Amino acid sequence: MSTTTHPTLDELRAEALEWGRKPRRYGSWYVTEHMVRAMRAYGWTIIVGALGQPIMYLLGLAVGLAALIQVPVRSHGGEVGYLVFVAPALLITAAIAVASEEMTYPVMAGFKWRRYFYGFNASSLSSPQIANGVIAGATARMFVAVAAYYLFIWIFGAVPHPETGWLSIVAGVAAGLAFGVPLMAYAGSIEDDKGQFALVQRFLFMPMFLFSGTFYPLETLPVWLQWIGWVSPVWHGAELGRVATYGADISAAMIAVHIVYLVVLTVAGYLWGRRVFIERLAK
Identity (one letter) of the amino acid at 220?
Answer: T
Which pLDDT belongs to residue 252?
A: 95
CA 167 to chain centre: 15
Q: What SS3 class is residue 211? A: coil
What does the alpha-carbon distance between residue 147 and residue 227 come to, in Å, rounded to a whole number? Answer: 29
pLDDT at 243 over 70: yes
Tell me which of 74 and 64 has the higher pLDDT.
Answer: 74
What string of DSSP letters covers 215-245? Answer: SS-GGGS-HHHHHHHHT-HHHHHHHHHHHHH
Report the share of the chain in percent with pLDDT over 70.
Answer: 86
What does the alpha-carbon distance between residue 231 and residue 179 come to, in Å, rounded to a whole number? Answer: 11
Burial label, 48 (beta-carbon count in 10 A; 0-12, 13-18, 19+): exposed
Tell me which of 160 and 47 has the higher pLDDT.
Answer: 160
What does the alpha-carbon distance between residue 195 and residue 205 come to, in Å, rounded to a whole number? Answer: 15
Average pLDDT, the chain: 86
Which pLDDT belongs to residue 17?
A: 47
What does the alpha-carbon distance between residue 280 and residue 191 come to, in Å, rounded to a whole number? Answer: 10
pLDDT at 82 over 50: yes
Angle at 100 between CA 49 and CA 136, to 5 degrees: 90
Q: What SS3 class is residue 20? A: helix
Domain boundaries, the chain: 24-281
For residue 253, the number of C-alpha atoms closer than 13 Å in the C-beta half-sphere is 0
